[in-house]
Amino acid sequence: MELAQGLVAIGAGLAIMTGMMTGLGQGFAAGKAVEAVGRNPEAENKIRSMLILGAAIAETCAIYGMLIAFILMFIY
Amino acid sequence: MIGNITIQIQAEVISIIVVSLVIFAFVFVVNKKVKTANIYEKPKGILLIATIFVEALAKLTNDNVNHKSAANYAPYIAVLALYLLFSNFSGLLGLSQPTKNYSVTLTLALITFVLIQRASIKTVGITGYIKSFFEPSPFLFIMNFFSKIAPIISMSVRLFGNITSGSILMLMVYGFTAYLSGLFPIIGSINFIGPLIAPFLHFYFDLFVGAIQMFIFISLTTVFIGIELSQ
């Protein structure tokens, strides 16, 4: 029935909105990392690896949302 | 098909076999070169890659697992790193990545769960382990129980979600460029726009995301083990 398909599409669109605050949080972390490198330019490698690790862990919420959106789109 | 029974083999099983053969070939070649190498000169070529890899993993394991028995976990972490790296890169060869199957990532997360619980039991003993469920208050039993189950779900879904979403997005890009190529009259049956813009996306989705997720999986495993061993 087409009402069900339309509702599934709306649900997938709502699920992908978890990426909004993730972008904000990762941008904030990158800003703090740049400030830390400016304060201490010798620790650049350690700060870079810690930034990548922290950003990718904070990205898991957005990945959960994207996974649910893909499952909704392709299976229902 | 054997008689009336149909056996289905998923595409990831072939990928796991190919990845295992590649790892075996790499390790075999390094072994032969190590036996005939001169220890007083600098390594070059594949021996240099192997030296850098072993040093980096030993440093990572010893830093995250702050305990004297950290060297016991290093071989498993090294094999896990090689397996995850090559299996995330196997999307470049056109194979369906093994980590695109939730069974593979769930198995790896369950192995990590068993390692963490064993480290905890070895440190505080089994009575301390059962008593840790009821601290600081017996009403928090459910919360303590779920905080031990949570790393399994989060680590397996993180790895599975990253790799699967990357491969579905690449599939959609190839489908769209095939439609665009089909608009050309004679040469349209071959998708010639796809290989023009796909390598940049492959560089991000296969190489970058694969390497980062491998690094995160290993870091989280070693950090959780280190937390349990230091109590």
Record: contact B161-A67, CB cut-off 8 A: yes
What torsion, rounded to 10 degrees, do the Cα atoms B179, B181, B185, B190 define? -110
The closest alpha carbon to A31, from A12, A14, A55, A7, belongs to A55
Contact A2, A52 (CB under 8 A): no
Cα-to-chain-centroid distance, residue B111:
12
**Which DSSP symbol is given to B137?**
-
Q: What is the pLDDT along chain B (231 residues), one digit of tens a residue?
A: 667 888 888 889 999 999 999 999 999 999 998 888 888 888 888 888 999 999 999 999 998 888 888 888 999 999 999 999 999 999 888 899 999 999 999 999 999 999 999 999 999 989 988 888 887 888 888 888 888 899 899 999 999 999 999 999 999 999 999 998 888 888 777 888 888 888 899 999 899 999 999 999 999 999 999 988 888
SS3 content of chain B, % helix, strand, coil (to 5): 80, 0, 20
Residue B136 preceded by cis peptide, ω within 30 = yes
The CA-atom distances, in angstroms, between B14 and each of A67, B20, B82, B106, B166 are: 25, 10, 18, 19, 20
Q: Which residues of B184-194 are buried (b: 16+ CB within 10 A; e: fewer)?
A: eeeeeeebebb
**Which of A16, A18, A66, A71 to mutate against chain B (most B CBs within 10 Å)?**
A66
SS3 content of chain A, % helix, strand, coil (to 5): 95, 0, 5
Record: contact A67-B164, CB cut-off 8 A: yes
Record: contact A67-B165, CB cut-off 8 A: yes
CB atoms within 10 A of CB B73: 21
Left if phi > 0, otherwise alpha if psi is -120 to 50, otherwise beta: which for B41?
beta
Record: contact A63-B162, CB cut-off 8 A: yes
What CA–CA distance (Å, rounded) separates B167 from B172? 9
Contact A73, B170 (CB under 8 A): no
Please state the ipTM of this predicted complex: 0.80
pLDDT per residue as tens digits for the range B206-224: 999 999 999 999 999 999 9
B69 touches chain A (CB under 8 A): no
What CA–CA distance (Å, rounded) separates A29 from B1? 55
The closest alpha carbon to B87, from B64, B107, B63, B61, belongs to B107
The rounded average pLDDT for each run of 10 residues, N- to C-terminus, in chain A (76 residues) is: 89 91 92 93 87 88 90 86
Interface of A with B (CB under 8 A): 52-53, 56-57, 60, 63-64, 66-67, 70, 74
What CA–CA distance (Å, rounded) separates B134 from B131? 6
